[in-house]
Amino acid sequence: QLQASGGGLVQPGGSLRLSCAASGLTSDYYAIGWFRQAPGKEREGVSCVSRSGGSRYYADSVKGRFTISRDNSKNTVYLQMNSVKPEDTAIYYCAVDTRRSVWSSVISGYGMDYWGKGTLVTVSS
């Protein structure tokens, strides 16, 4: 199971830190990441990181503002969101890949096999 937390209301230009703890997995994950879906829009990959940390992905829209990190000992991934914008408003989901999917499918989300329920982030003044 994946439990995301940390969402809420934040003003433009502010910061927020999302956390996601993975528990009960049948095997170690190979990649973990964050995805988001805004109202009326398709889901998009925000940021992903491999278990080793050797591979990282950031969507162009969040590069330089968001930072992903993970604590393998806790099976937890974090998303530090800085300089948030109204267009960052969305439900944020965390997901893991336990099947060693190809990286392109990881960042698209199709390679992820476990998903959390999501946490709402609203950026508004």
Would you list the DSSP string of the chain?
-EEEE--EEE-TT--EEEEEEE-S-SS--SEEEEEEE-TTS--EEEEEEETTSS-EEE-TTTTTTEEEEEEGGGTEEEEEE-S--GGG-EEEEEEEESS---HHHHHHSTT--EE---EEEEE--
Q: Mind listing the pLDDT tens digit for each residue in 18-60?
A: 999 988 776 788 899 999 999 999 999 999 999 888 899 999 9
Q: Mind listing the pLDDT tens digit for each residue in 59-102?
A: 999 999 999 998 888 888 999 999 999 999 999 999 999 888 89
